[in-house]
């Protein structure tokens, strides 16, 4: 249901957004935490992931 809403609702066309829904099924743009936006942490996670799957 929510996937259909995201692709058909013109108010949800903003790119690069993580959409969430409240208990009343109203959609809203979810704000990323500082930790999720931390470029250095992302780089470290990427490097560890590469090692774990044998790409590094």
Chain segment 13-26, per-residue pLDDT in tens: 888 888 899 888 88
Handedness of CA 32, 36, 40, 43 (dihedral sign): negative
Half-sphere exposure of 21 (CA within 13 A, CB side): 10
Confirm if 14 and 29 have CB atoms less than 8 A apart: yes
- Taking the C-alpha atoms of residue 29 and residue 22, their distance in angstroms, rounded to an integer, is 11
Position 52 scores a pLDDT of 98
Q: pTM here?
A: 0.52
How buried is residue 17: exposed, middle or buried, by Cβ count under 10 Å (0-12/13-18/19+)? middle
């Amino acid at each position: 249901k929510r996937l259909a809403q995201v692709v058909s609702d013109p108010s949800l066309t903003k790119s690069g957004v993580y959409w969430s829904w409240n208990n009343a099924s109203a959609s809203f743009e979810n704000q990323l935490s500082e930790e999720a936006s931390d470029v250095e942490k992302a780089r470290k996670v990427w490097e560890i992931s590469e090692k774990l799957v044998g790409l590094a």
